[in-house]
Protein backbone atom coordinates (compact mmCIF):
# COMPACT_ATOMS: atom_id res chain seq x y z
CA UNK A 1 0.00 0.00 0.00
CA UNK A 2 1.33 3.40 -0.91
CA UNK A 3 2.24 5.78 1.92
CA UNK A 4 -0.40 8.46 2.61
CA UNK A 5 0.17 11.55 0.61
CA UNK A 6 0.24 14.99 2.18
CA UNK A 7 -2.13 17.45 0.57
CA UNK A 8 -1.02 20.97 1.39
CA UNK A 9 -3.73 23.58 0.94
CA UNK A 10 -2.31 26.77 -0.59
CA UNK A 11 -1.68 29.68 1.75
CA UNK A 12 -3.87 32.78 1.47
CA UNK A 13 -2.62 35.81 -0.44
CA UNK A 14 -0.14 38.05 1.36
CA UNK A 15 -1.53 40.62 3.76
CA UNK A 16 -1.60 44.24 2.64
CA UNK A 17 1.75 45.85 2.10
CA UNK A 18 3.69 46.34 5.31
CA UNK A 19 1.72 43.68 7.28
CA UNK A 20 2.87 40.18 8.32
CA UNK A 21 2.34 37.20 6.06
CA UNK A 22 -0.41 34.99 7.60
CA UNK A 23 -0.29 31.25 6.94
CA UNK A 24 -3.45 29.13 7.19
CA UNK A 25 -3.34 25.48 6.05
CA UNK A 26 -4.42 21.96 6.82
CA UNK A 27 -1.61 19.61 7.72
CA UNK A 28 -1.98 16.30 5.87
CA UNK A 29 -4.90 15.19 3.72
CA UNK A 30 -7.90 17.46 3.24
CA UNK A 31 -10.09 14.42 2.40
CA UNK A 32 -9.98 11.46 4.76
CA UNK A 33 -11.63 8.09 5.29
CA UNK A 34 -12.93 7.77 8.84
CA UNK A 35 -14.54 4.71 10.50
CA UNK A 36 -17.94 5.44 12.04
CA UNK A 37 -17.75 5.70 15.81
CA UNK A 38 -14.07 6.65 15.89
CA UNK A 39 -12.48 10.07 16.33
CA UNK A 40 -11.80 12.06 13.20
CA UNK A 41 -9.06 14.67 13.47
CA UNK A 42 -7.78 17.40 11.13
CA UNK A 43 -4.53 19.19 11.93
CA UNK A 44 -4.46 22.93 11.22
CA UNK A 45 -1.62 25.41 10.94
CA UNK A 46 -2.59 29.03 11.56
CA UNK A 47 0.51 31.00 12.42
CA UNK A 48 -0.22 34.26 14.13
CA UNK A 49 -3.68 33.21 15.37
CA UNK A 50 -4.95 32.13 18.77
CA UNK A 51 -7.38 29.34 19.65
CA UNK A 52 -10.33 31.74 19.97
CA UNK A 53 -9.70 32.91 16.39
CA UNK A 54 -10.46 29.47 14.97
CA UNK A 55 -13.99 28.21 14.37
CA UNK A 56 -14.95 24.76 13.00
CA UNK A 57 -18.43 23.65 11.85
CA UNK A 58 -19.06 20.01 10.96
CA UNK A 59 -22.16 19.04 8.96
CA UNK A 60 -23.31 15.44 8.55
CA UNK A 61 -24.80 13.92 5.34
CA UNK A 62 -28.27 14.47 6.84
CA UNK A 63 -27.42 18.17 7.32
CA UNK A 64 -27.15 17.93 11.09
CA UNK A 65 -24.44 19.82 12.95
CA UNK A 66 -21.98 17.49 14.62
CA UNK A 67 -20.37 18.61 17.87
CA UNK A 68 -16.61 19.04 17.78
CA UNK A 69 -13.73 20.35 19.82
CA UNK A 70 -10.72 22.42 18.97
CA UNK A 71 -7.49 21.77 20.85
CA UNK A 72 -4.11 23.41 20.70
CA UNK A 73 -1.62 20.86 19.48
CA UNK A 74 2.10 21.50 19.83
CA UNK A 75 3.59 24.91 19.18
CA UNK A 76 2.00 28.29 18.51
CA UNK A 77 -0.55 28.36 15.70
CA UNK A 78 -0.99 24.58 15.67
CA UNK A 79 -4.55 23.30 16.24
CA UNK A 80 -6.53 20.09 15.92
CA UNK A 81 -10.24 19.74 15.10
CA UNK A 82 -11.76 16.55 16.52
CA UNK A 83 -15.22 14.98 16.25
CA UNK A 84 -16.79 11.52 16.39
CA UNK A 85 -19.11 10.76 13.45
CA UNK A 86 -21.79 8.09 13.74
CA UNK A 87 -23.48 8.54 10.37
CA UNK A 88 -22.12 6.94 7.19
CA UNK A 89 -21.37 9.39 4.40
CA UNK A 90 -19.48 12.59 3.64
CA UNK A 91 -19.10 15.10 6.51
CA UNK A 92 -18.02 18.63 5.63
CA UNK A 93 -15.66 20.43 7.98
CA UNK A 94 -15.79 24.19 7.44
CA UNK A 95 -12.98 26.07 9.16
CA UNK A 96 -12.82 29.83 9.61
CA UNK A 97 -9.66 31.47 10.97
CA UNK A 98 -9.84 35.09 11.99
CA UNK A 99 -13.17 35.37 10.21
CA UNK A 100 -11.82 34.02 6.91
CA UNK A 101 -12.57 30.58 5.49
CA UNK A 102 -9.78 28.11 5.16
CA UNK A 103 -8.33 28.35 1.65
CA UNK A 104 -9.23 25.50 -0.63
CA UNK A 105 -12.78 25.06 0.67
CA UNK A 106 -14.14 22.76 3.40
CA UNK A 107 -12.36 19.63 4.55
CA UNK A 108 -14.10 16.31 3.94
CA UNK A 109 -14.43 13.28 6.19
CA UNK A 110 -15.77 10.25 4.31
CA UNK A 111 -17.27 8.10 7.04
CA UNK A 112 -17.68 4.36 6.50
CA UNK A 113 -18.87 1.41 8.56
CA UNK A 114 -17.48 -2.05 7.74
CA UNK A 115 -20.13 -3.61 10.01
CA UNK A 116 -22.80 -2.64 7.46
CA UNK A 117 -21.36 -4.87 4.75
CA UNK A 118 -23.51 -7.91 4.07
CA UNK A 119 -22.07 -11.17 2.70
CA UNK A 120 -24.62 -13.67 1.37
CA UNK A 121 -24.97 -16.89 -0.63
CA UNK A 122 -21.80 -18.49 0.74
CA UNK A 123 -22.62 -22.16 0.22
CA UNK A 124 -20.71 -25.35 -0.41
CA UNK A 125 -18.59 -25.94 -3.49
CA UNK A 126 -17.21 -28.63 -5.75
CA UNK A 127 -13.61 -28.95 -6.90
CA UNK A 128 -13.23 -27.55 -10.41
CA UNK A 129 -16.64 -25.85 -10.43
CA UNK A 130 -17.10 -22.07 -10.01
CA UNK A 131 -18.41 -20.90 -6.64
CA UNK A 132 -20.13 -17.56 -6.15
CA UNK A 133 -21.15 -15.33 -3.27
CA UNK A 134 -22.44 -11.77 -2.97
CA UNK A 135 -21.13 -8.73 -1.14
CA UNK A 136 -23.40 -5.76 -0.46
CA UNK A 137 -21.55 -2.61 0.61
CA UNK A 138 -24.35 -0.22 -0.39
CA UNK A 139 -24.89 0.95 3.20
CA UNK A 140 -21.26 0.95 4.28
CA UNK A 141 -20.05 4.19 2.74
CA UNK A 142 -17.18 4.92 0.39
CA UNK A 143 -14.05 2.84 0.37
CA UNK A 144 -11.97 0.00 -0.99
CA UNK A 145 -13.11 -3.60 -0.75
CA UNK A 146 -10.42 -6.29 -0.50
CA UNK A 147 -11.38 -9.95 -0.89
CA UNK A 148 -9.01 -12.86 -0.41
CA UNK A 149 -9.63 -16.60 -0.32
CA UNK A 150 -7.31 -18.89 1.64
CA UNK A 151 -4.89 -16.00 2.26
CA UNK A 152 -4.79 -15.13 -1.41
CA UNK A 153 -3.91 -18.64 -2.62
CA UNK A 154 -7.15 -18.93 -4.62
CA UNK A 155 -7.77 -16.26 -7.28
CA UNK A 156 -11.16 -14.58 -7.32
CA UNK A 157 -13.01 -12.36 -9.76
CA UNK A 158 -15.20 -9.47 -8.61
CA UNK A 159 -18.05 -8.36 -10.85
CA UNK A 160 -19.58 -5.03 -9.86
CA UNK A 161 -23.33 -5.20 -10.33
CA UNK A 162 -24.03 -1.62 -9.28
CA UNK A 163 -25.20 0.24 -6.21
CA UNK A 164 -22.26 -0.87 -4.08
CA UNK A 165 -23.00 -4.54 -4.72
CA UNK A 166 -20.77 -7.14 -6.32
CA UNK A 167 -20.68 -10.81 -7.27
CA UNK A 168 -17.52 -12.73 -6.38
CA UNK A 169 -16.51 -15.91 -8.25
CA UNK A 170 -13.72 -18.37 -7.54
CA UNK A 171 -12.94 -21.93 -8.58
CA UNK A 172 -11.62 -24.23 -5.85
CA UNK A 173 -8.99 -26.78 -6.86
CA UNK A 174 -8.70 -28.76 -3.62
CA UNK A 175 -11.32 -30.46 -1.42
CA UNK A 176 -10.87 -28.43 1.77
CA UNK A 177 -12.61 -25.54 3.54
CA UNK A 178 -12.04 -22.26 1.71
CA UNK A 179 -11.80 -19.24 4.04
CA UNK A 180 -13.16 -15.98 2.66
CA UNK A 181 -11.66 -12.83 4.19
CA UNK A 182 -13.04 -9.40 3.36
CA UNK A 183 -11.62 -6.04 4.36
CA UNK A 184 -13.13 -2.59 3.86
CA UNK A 185 -10.64 0.25 3.91
CA UNK A 186 -8.22 -2.13 5.58
CA UNK A 187 -10.72 -3.06 8.32
CA UNK A 188 -11.87 -6.68 8.61
CA UNK A 189 -15.59 -7.12 7.95
CA UNK A 190 -17.35 -8.63 11.01
CA UNK A 191 -18.17 -12.30 10.53
CA UNK A 192 -14.99 -13.08 8.61
CA UNK A 193 -13.69 -15.50 7.70
CA UNK A 194 -16.70 -16.97 5.94
CA UNK A 195 -16.27 -20.68 5.20
CA UNK A 196 -17.09 -22.40 1.93
CA UNK A 197 -16.88 -26.18 2.32
CA UNK A 198 -15.48 -27.76 -0.85
CA UNK A 199 -15.85 -31.41 -1.85
CA UNK A 200 -14.44 -33.47 -4.68
CA UNK A 201 -17.54 -35.26 -5.94
CA UNK A 202 -15.56 -36.84 -8.77
CA UNK A 203 -14.47 -39.34 -6.13
CA UNK A 204 -18.00 -40.78 -6.17
CA UNK A 205 -19.18 -42.99 -9.03
CA UNK A 206 -22.76 -44.20 -9.34
CA UNK A 207 -24.38 -47.15 -11.14
CA UNK A 208 -27.73 -45.72 -12.16
CA UNK A 209 -28.47 -47.58 -15.39
CA UNK A 210 -30.86 -50.00 -13.70
CA UNK A 211 -32.96 -47.08 -12.43
CA UNK A 212 -34.07 -45.82 -15.83
CA UNK A 213 -37.33 -47.83 -15.64
CA UNK A 214 -38.42 -49.30 -12.31
CA UNK A 215 -41.60 -51.24 -11.44
CA UNK A 216 -43.95 -49.87 -8.77
CA UNK A 217 -44.00 -51.91 -5.56
CA UNK A 218 -40.63 -53.56 -6.17
CA UNK A 219 -37.38 -52.63 -4.48
CA UNK A 220 -35.03 -50.50 -6.61
CA UNK A 221 -31.31 -50.53 -5.86
CA UNK A 222 -28.19 -48.74 -7.07
CA UNK A 223 -24.53 -48.85 -6.11
CA UNK A 224 -22.12 -46.09 -5.10
CA UNK A 225 -18.32 -46.31 -5.01
CA UNK A 226 -16.14 -43.73 -3.25
CA UNK A 227 -12.43 -43.24 -3.87
CA UNK A 228 -10.91 -44.17 -0.52
CA UNK A 229 -8.32 -41.36 -0.47
CA UNK A 230 -10.30 -39.43 2.16
CA UNK A 231 -13.47 -39.30 4.22
CA UNK A 232 -16.85 -38.86 2.58
CA UNK A 233 -20.32 -38.33 3.92
CA UNK A 234 -22.97 -39.56 1.50
CA UNK A 235 -26.59 -38.43 1.61
CA UNK A 236 -29.23 -40.02 -0.61
CA UNK A 237 -32.79 -38.82 -1.08
CA UNK A 238 -35.58 -39.87 -3.44
CA UNK A 239 -38.66 -37.85 -4.18
CA UNK A 240 -41.61 -39.37 -6.01
CA UNK A 241 -44.34 -37.47 -7.85
CA UNK A 242 -46.05 -36.49 -4.58
CA UNK A 243 -43.74 -37.25 -1.65
CA UNK A 244 -40.31 -38.22 -0.34
CA UNK A 245 -39.54 -41.93 -0.11
CA UNK A 246 -37.59 -43.74 2.61
CA UNK A 247 -34.09 -44.74 1.44
CA UNK A 248 -31.88 -47.37 3.04
CA UNK A 249 -28.12 -46.95 2.56
CA UNK A 250 -25.73 -49.72 3.56
CA UNK A 251 -22.09 -50.63 2.97
CA UNK A 252 -18.72 -49.02 3.65
CA UNK A 253 -16.22 -46.72 1.98
CA UNK A 254 -14.01 -49.74 1.31
CA UNK A 255 -16.66 -52.00 -0.25
CA UNK A 256 -18.97 -49.37 -1.67
CA UNK A 257 -22.50 -48.42 -0.71
CA UNK A 258 -25.93 -49.60 -1.84
CA UNK A 259 -29.07 -47.47 -1.71
CA UNK A 260 -32.54 -49.05 -1.81
CA UNK A 261 -36.02 -47.62 -2.11
CA UNK A 262 -39.45 -48.83 -3.23
CA UNK A 263 -41.54 -46.65 -5.57
CA UNK A 264 -45.17 -46.42 -4.55
CA UNK A 265 -46.65 -44.63 -7.54
CA UNK A 266 -46.26 -44.28 -11.26
CA UNK A 267 -44.17 -41.35 -12.49
CA UNK A 268 -40.81 -39.63 -12.29
CA UNK A 269 -38.70 -40.13 -9.16
CA UNK A 270 -35.83 -37.72 -8.53
CA UNK A 271 -32.76 -39.48 -7.08
CA UNK A 272 -30.32 -37.10 -5.36
CA UNK A 273 -26.87 -38.04 -4.05
CA UNK A 274 -24.65 -35.61 -2.15
CA UNK A 275 -21.06 -36.05 -1.02
CA UNK A 276 -20.07 -33.84 1.89
CA UNK A 277 -23.02 -31.59 1.14
CA UNK A 278 -22.40 -31.17 -2.61
CA UNK A 279 -24.38 -32.84 -5.43
CA UNK A 280 -22.61 -35.76 -7.12
CA UNK A 281 -22.22 -35.50 -10.88
CA UNK A 282 -25.10 -37.16 -12.68
CA UNK A 283 -27.66 -36.27 -10.03
CA UNK A 284 -30.42 -35.55 -9.64
CA UNK A 285 -31.19 -38.61 -11.74
CA UNK A 286 -34.76 -39.20 -12.89
CA UNK A 287 -35.98 -42.78 -12.45
CA UNK A 288 -39.27 -43.57 -14.19
CA UNK A 289 -41.63 -45.84 -12.25
CA UNK A 290 -44.24 -47.87 -14.13
CA UNK A 291 -46.99 -50.35 -13.25
CA UNK A 292 -47.82 -53.08 -15.78
CA UNK A 293 -50.97 -53.92 -13.80
CA UNK A 294 -52.42 -50.56 -14.86
CA UNK A 295 -52.40 -51.45 -18.56
CA UNK A 296 -56.04 -51.97 -19.47
CA UNK A 297 -57.34 -54.18 -22.31
CA UNK A 298 -60.67 -53.23 -23.87
CA UNK A 299 -63.67 -55.60 -24.05
CA UNK A 300 -63.05 -58.71 -26.13
CA UNK A 301 -65.80 -60.61 -28.00
CA UNK A 302 -66.19 -64.19 -26.94
CA UNK A 303 -66.11 -65.43 -30.55
CA UNK A 304 -64.74 -64.28 -33.90
CA UNK A 305 -64.99 -65.36 -37.54
CA UNK A 306 -62.12 -66.68 -39.62
CA UNK A 307 -60.94 -64.17 -42.20
CA UNK A 308 -62.85 -61.27 -40.63
CA UNK A 309 -60.83 -58.39 -39.07
CA UNK A 310 -61.14 -58.01 -35.33
CA UNK A 311 -60.22 -55.06 -33.08
CA UNK A 312 -59.68 -54.38 -29.39
CA UNK A 313 -58.16 -51.49 -27.38
CA UNK A 314 -55.17 -51.22 -25.08
CA UNK A 315 -54.91 -48.28 -22.65
CA UNK A 316 -51.48 -47.71 -21.05
CA UNK A 317 -52.09 -44.05 -20.13
CA UNK A 318 -52.01 -44.77 -16.38
CA UNK A 319 -49.14 -47.25 -16.46
CA UNK A 320 -46.21 -44.86 -16.80
CA UNK A 321 -43.47 -44.60 -19.39
CA UNK A 322 -42.27 -47.66 -21.24
CA UNK A 323 -42.49 -50.01 -24.19
CA UNK A 324 -45.63 -51.95 -25.03
CA UNK A 325 -45.31 -55.28 -26.88
CA UNK A 326 -48.41 -56.99 -28.24
CA UNK A 327 -48.42 -60.42 -29.91
CA UNK A 328 -51.22 -62.72 -31.06
CA UNK A 329 -50.46 -66.36 -31.65
CA UNK A 330 -52.15 -69.49 -32.94
CA UNK A 331 -50.79 -72.93 -32.04
CA UNK A 332 -47.59 -71.26 -30.80
CA UNK A 333 -47.01 -69.17 -33.96
CA UNK A 334 -47.43 -65.39 -34.12
CA UNK A 335 -49.81 -63.97 -36.71
CA UNK A 336 -49.72 -60.49 -38.31
CA UNK A 337 -50.95 -57.76 -35.95
CA UNK A 338 -51.48 -54.03 -36.52
CA UNK A 339 -51.22 -51.51 -33.67
CA UNK A 340 -52.79 -48.07 -34.30
CA UNK A 341 -51.75 -45.30 -31.84
CA UNK A 342 -54.65 -43.11 -30.73
CA UNK A 343 -52.63 -40.69 -28.63
CA UNK A 344 -51.94 -40.43 -24.88
CA UNK A 345 -50.65 -44.04 -24.74
CA UNK A 346 -53.90 -45.51 -26.06
CA UNK A 347 -53.96 -47.98 -28.97
CA UNK A 348 -56.32 -49.92 -31.22
CA UNK A 349 -55.08 -53.41 -32.12
CA UNK A 350 -56.41 -55.25 -35.17
CA UNK A 351 -55.79 -58.70 -36.64
CA UNK A 352 -57.48 -61.29 -38.87
CA UNK A 353 -58.08 -64.74 -37.38
CA UNK A 354 -56.61 -67.45 -39.62
CA UNK A 355 -58.02 -70.61 -38.04
CA UNK A 356 -61.07 -71.65 -36.12
CA UNK A 357 -59.10 -72.25 -32.92
CA UNK A 358 -57.88 -70.41 -29.84
CA UNK A 359 -56.01 -67.16 -30.47
CA UNK A 360 -53.80 -66.08 -27.58
CA UNK A 361 -53.18 -62.37 -26.92
CA UNK A 362 -49.98 -61.61 -24.95
CA UNK A 363 -49.09 -58.09 -23.81
CA UNK A 364 -45.82 -57.08 -22.17
CA UNK A 365 -45.03 -53.67 -20.70
CA UNK A 366 -41.31 -52.99 -20.26
CA UNK A 367 -40.82 -56.75 -20.79
CA UNK A 368 -43.12 -57.45 -17.85
CA UNK A 369 -46.26 -59.47 -18.67
CA UNK A 370 -49.51 -57.60 -18.25
CA UNK A 371 -51.51 -59.76 -15.81
CA UNK A 372 -53.84 -62.28 -17.45
CA UNK A 373 -54.10 -63.66 -20.97
CA UNK A 374 -56.93 -63.21 -23.41
CA UNK A 375 -58.36 -65.77 -25.81
CA UNK A 376 -60.47 -65.63 -28.92
CA UNK A 377 -62.25 -68.70 -30.22
Instruction: Compare 21 and 208 and report the one with higher pLDDT.
Output: 208
Count of CA atoms in the C-beta half-sphere (13 A) of 151: 0
- pLDDT one-digit tens code per residue, 128-150: 889 999 999 999 999 999 999 99
| Same domain as 194, residue 133 | yes
pLDDT at position 230 is 59
pLDDT at position 376 is 58
Q: Mean of the per-residue pLDDT values for the chain?
A: 86
CA distance from start to end of the chain: 98
| Same domain as 278, residue 209 | yes
Q: How would residue 11 be classed by pLDDT, with cut points 50, 70 and 90?
A: very low
- Give the contacts of 255 (CB within 8 A, at least 6 positions apart): none
C-alpha of 360 from chain center: 58
pLDDT at position 118 is 96
Q: Which residues span the domain enclosing 225? A: 201-290
Most confident region among 70-74, 121-125, 139-143 by mean pLDDT: 139-143
Instruction: Compare 305 and 191 and report the one with higher pLDDT.
Output: 191
| Same domain as 184, residue 135 | yes
Q: Is residue 3 part of a domain?
A: no
Residue 18 has pLDDT above 60, yes or no: no
pLDDT at position 255 is 82
CATH for 124: 2.60.40.10
- Give the contacts of 166 (CB within 8 A, at least 6 positions apart): 134, 135, 137, 145, 158, 159, 160
| Same domain as 101, residue 66 | yes
| Same domain as 255, residue 219 | yes
Whether 137 and 145 have beta carbons less than 8 Å apart is answered as: yes
Whether 143 and 104 have beta carbons less than 8 Å apart is answered as: no
Whether 190 and 115 have beta carbons less than 8 Å apart is answered as: yes
- pLDDT one-digit tens code per residue, 168-204: 999 998 888 999 999 999 999 999 999 998 887 777 8
Q: How would residue 229 be classed by pLDDT, with cut points 50, 70 and 90?
A: low
Number of domains within the chain: 4
Q: Is residue 82 part of a domain?
A: yes
- Choose the weakest-confidence range: 33-37, 53-57, 204-208: 204-208
Q: Is residue 2 part of a domain?
A: no
Amino acid sequence: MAAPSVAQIPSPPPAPSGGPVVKMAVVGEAVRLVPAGSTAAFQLSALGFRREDVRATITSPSKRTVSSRLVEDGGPGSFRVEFTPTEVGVHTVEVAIGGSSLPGGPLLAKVYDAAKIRVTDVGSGIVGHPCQFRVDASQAGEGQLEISINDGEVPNHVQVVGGGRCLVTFTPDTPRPHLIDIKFNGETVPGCPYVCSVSDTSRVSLSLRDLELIPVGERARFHMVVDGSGGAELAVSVRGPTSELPVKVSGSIHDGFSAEFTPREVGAHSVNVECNGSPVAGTPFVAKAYDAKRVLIGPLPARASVGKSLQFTVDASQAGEGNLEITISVRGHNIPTQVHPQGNARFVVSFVPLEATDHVISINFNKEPVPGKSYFK
